[in-house]
């Protein structure tokens, strides 16, 4: 008598066979990921330890950590440090990126939550509003950035015109030009664009919350604000955390919006922008590769810290 689960004695068990089958089903995707993610990443990291230039991609020589940090003693005895880690432009970019990410994701989460709560309520024409609110997210970034560049234009922009007519500002503001407002301009556009995405992810979480909990709360006469903080928020927390991670990953490597809206302003240059600038514009490919590698490391640290702090259940084990 044989156990049907264990299979034939000596042969692979059903479990083993299932795992093998699963591997073969996953193999094409793993291969694709290897080609488009793992290989370029490994190559970038390798480039960062060489002196490769764009015009000579295959002739780079190993230079160790020189692109990150190197020390040279001049003949006068003065010691100079070189490399990305002592490059003030790089640290300015890091600070810009972190500031941008924290502020934009913060606003997007709060606004997204509000929008999601509104959309979760029953009202007439809800399907239409749900579709309409996704429009900013659906417009390609390059188009929305150009569109906003015109609206933010200091002389012909509609934004200055409205604010002037309302008497909120005394004179036209050069949104994208002046260093004080450049970051604000970028933040406005990013928040406008990405809040719908946040709202959608949170809405999905909200719809998982069982309705009877709310009914019970209503019968008990609990204040809606208390219901939100005691019932809704804890229940959608996993969805919220995942949404924030997604956005954070996206925000830390922001490139397109800034490249179009304020390309060379040192007030908004992010890590991706400065790394591209070194790779392409300045013909310092390896130096840019070192910055890309650091960007990757910083994102990895950020996400690990966030997962660890929030104990986010990305594997879905807790739902079993």
Partner 1 sequence: MGKFSRDALRPVVLAALMGGIALPAAADELFYVAGGVGKQAQHFKELVKPWEERSGHTVTLVPMPQSSSDQFAQYRLWLAAGTKDVDLYQTDVIWAPQLSEYFVDLSEAAKDIVGEHFPSVIESQTTDGKLVALPLYTDAPALYYRADLLEKYGKEVPGTWAELTETARLIQDGERAAGQGDLWGFVWQGNAYEGLTCNALEWVKSFGGGQIVESDGTVSINNPQAVAALELAASWIGTISPRGVLAHKEEEARGVWQTGNAVFMRNWPYAFALSAGADSAVKGKFDVAPLPAGSEETGSASTLGGWNVAVSKFSTKQEAAVDLALYLASAEAQKRRALLDGNLPTVVALYDDPEIAEAVPLIPRWKEVFANAVPRPSGPVKSKYNEVSSKFWSAVHDTLSGKGTAAENLELLELDLTDLQGSGW
Instruction: Please say which residue, 120 or 178, places its beta carbon nearer to partner 1.
Output: 178
Q: How far apart, in whole angstroms, are the C-alpha atoms of residue 134 and residue 153?
A: 25
Which positions from 256 through 275 interact with partner 1, judged by CB under 8 A?
262-266
Measuring CA to CA, which residue among 290, 298, 253 is closest to residue 83? Answer: 290
Q: Are 268 and 258 in contact (CB under 8 A)?
A: yes
Q: Could you say which of 1, 155, 168, 221 contacts partner 1 (CB under 8 A)?
A: 155
CA angle 87, 90, 96 (to 5 degrees): 145
What is the distance between the alpha carbons of residues 271 and 82, in angstroms, rounded to a whole number? 18
Interior CA angle at 184 toward 301 and 153, to 5°?
135
The single residue among 107, 178, 214, 310 that binds partner 1, judged by CB under 8 A, is: 178
Compare residues 153 and 184 and give the one whose CB is closer to partner 1. 153
Q: Is 151 in the site for partner 1 (CB under 8 A)?
A: no
- d(CA 165, CA 158) in angstroms, rounded, equals 10
Among 172, 192, 302, 306, binds partner 1 (CB under 8 A): 172
- Which one among 45, 174, 222, 312 touches partner 1, defined by CB under 8 A? 174
CB of 262 vs partner 1, minimal distance in Å: 8
Residue from the set 277, 290, 292, 294 that interacts with partner 1 by CB under 8 A = 277
Of 55, 73, 76, 319, the one binding partner 1 (CB under 8 A) is 55
* Minimum CB distance to partner 1 smaller for 266 or for 304: 266
- Which residues have C-beta within 8 Å of that of residue 276, sequence separation ≥ 6? 255, 259, 288
Contact between 304 and partner 1 by CB under 8 A: the answer reads no
Interaction of residue 63 with partner 1, rule CB under 8 A: no
Helices (H) and strands (E) in the chain, counts: 14, 2
Under the binding rule (CB under 8 A), the answer on residue 217 touching partner 1 is: no
Cα–Cα distance measured from residue 221 to residue 223, given in angstroms and rounded to the nearest whole number = 6
- The residues binding partner 1 (CB under 8 A) are 54-55, 57, 153-156, 172-174, 176-179, 262-266, 276-277, 280-284
């Amino acid at each position: 008598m044989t156990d049907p689960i264990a299979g034939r004695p000596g042969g692979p068990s059903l479990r083993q066979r299932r795992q093998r089958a699963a591997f073969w089903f996953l193999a094409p995707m793993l291969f694709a990921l290897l080609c488009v993610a793992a290989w370029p990443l490994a190559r970038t990291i390798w480039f960062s330890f060489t002196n490769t230039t764009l015009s000579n991609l295959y002739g780079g020589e190993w230079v160790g950590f020189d692109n990150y940090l190197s020390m040279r003693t001049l003949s006068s005895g003065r010691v100079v440090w070189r490399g990305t880690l002592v490059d003030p432009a790089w640290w300015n970019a890091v600070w810009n990126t972190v500031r941008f990410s924290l502020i934009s994701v913060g606003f997007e989460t709060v606004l997204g939550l509000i929008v999601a709560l509104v959309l979760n309520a029953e009202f007439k024409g809800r399907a239409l509003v749900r579709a309409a609110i996704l429009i900013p997210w659906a417009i390609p970034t390059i188009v929305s950035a150009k569109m906003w560049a015109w609206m933010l234009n200091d002389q012909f922009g509609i934004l200055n015109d409205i604010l002037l007519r309302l008497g909120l500002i005394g004179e036209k503001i050069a949104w994208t030009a002046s260093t004080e407002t450049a970051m604000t301009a970028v933040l406005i556009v990013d928040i406008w664009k990405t809040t719908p995405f946040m709202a959608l992810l949170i809405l999905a979480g909200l719809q998982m919350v069982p309705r009877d909990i709310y009914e019970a709360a209503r019968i008990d006469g609990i204040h809606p604000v208390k219901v939100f903080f005691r019932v809704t928020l804890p229940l959608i927390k996993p969805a919220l955390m995942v949404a924030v991670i997604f956005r954070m990953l996206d925000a830390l490597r922001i490139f397109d919006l800034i490249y179009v809206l304020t390309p060379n302003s040192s007030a908004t240059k992010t890590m991706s922008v400065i790394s591209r600038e070194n790779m392409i514009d300045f013909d310092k490919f390896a130096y840019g590769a070192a910055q890309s590698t650091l960007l990757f490391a910083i994102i990895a640290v950020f996400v690990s810290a966030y997962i660890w702090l929030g104990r986010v259940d990305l594997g879905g084990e807790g739902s079993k």
